[in-house]
């Protein structure tokens, strides 16, 4: 039987079990998930939060992470500024990044979601409004969502992956995990 673990990765945690980076200690998956022989199916940047799936099944891991399988990944994205219709349409059509065009995204503006507070908090500027988007992509390039919103003129301030395929973050607090039966 395959093991599948849903984990709500907090801000600042690396999407790996060991830190082979700097001399300064950084939080890793091993600080939160004491389960041997499971590995992340895909990655989330250190400054992103949300759903990370861990599994011991290499085929499932590839199906989740490999862009050729086009598994949808949905993000809640806080952006700086008020995205206009043309910018949202550009995301829906696919935007040109340095490493080539993206596939079309599903995107819509949403009310601020009832998320946990981020530590440290997102910077706040009185003169610049912030808006939330629900954005779904079917590929997973390095920092893709951040690069897409920046390409249409709205930098990402906070990024929370909410869903991968049929799995959601529903009911999982930051740093919490649960194994699927």
Instruction: Give the active site residues.
Output: 45
**DSSP designation for 123:** P
CA distances 20 to 16, 94, 107, 175, Å, are 10, 35, 36, 21
Our separate counts of H helices and E strands in the chain read: 3, 11
126: which residues sit within 8 A by CB, 6+ positions away?
A: none
**What would the two tokens of residue 28 be?**
């890793």
């Amino acid at each position: 039987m395959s093991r599948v673990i849903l984990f709500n990765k907090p801000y600042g945690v690396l999407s790996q079990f060991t830190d082979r980076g700097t001399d300064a200690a950084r939080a890793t998956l091993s600080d939160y998930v004491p389960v041997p022989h499971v590995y992340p199916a895909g990655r989330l940047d250190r400054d992103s939060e949300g759903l990370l799936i861990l599994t011991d099944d290499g085929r499932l891991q590839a199906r989740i992470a490999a862009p050729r399988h086009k598994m949808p990944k949905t993000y809640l994205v806080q952006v700086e500024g008020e995205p206009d219709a043309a910018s949202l349409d550009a995301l829906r059509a696919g935007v040109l990044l340095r490493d080539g065009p993206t596939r079309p995204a599903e995107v819509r503006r949403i009310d601020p979601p009832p998320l946990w507070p981020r530590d440290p908090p997102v910077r706040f500027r009185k003169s610049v409004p912030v808006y939330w988007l629900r954005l779904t992509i079917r590929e997973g390039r390095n920092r893709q969502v951040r690069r897409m919103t920046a390409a249409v003129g709205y930098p990402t301030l906070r990024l929370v992956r909410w869903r991968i395929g049929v799995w959601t973050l529903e009911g999982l607090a930051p740093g919490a995990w649960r194994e699927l039966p």
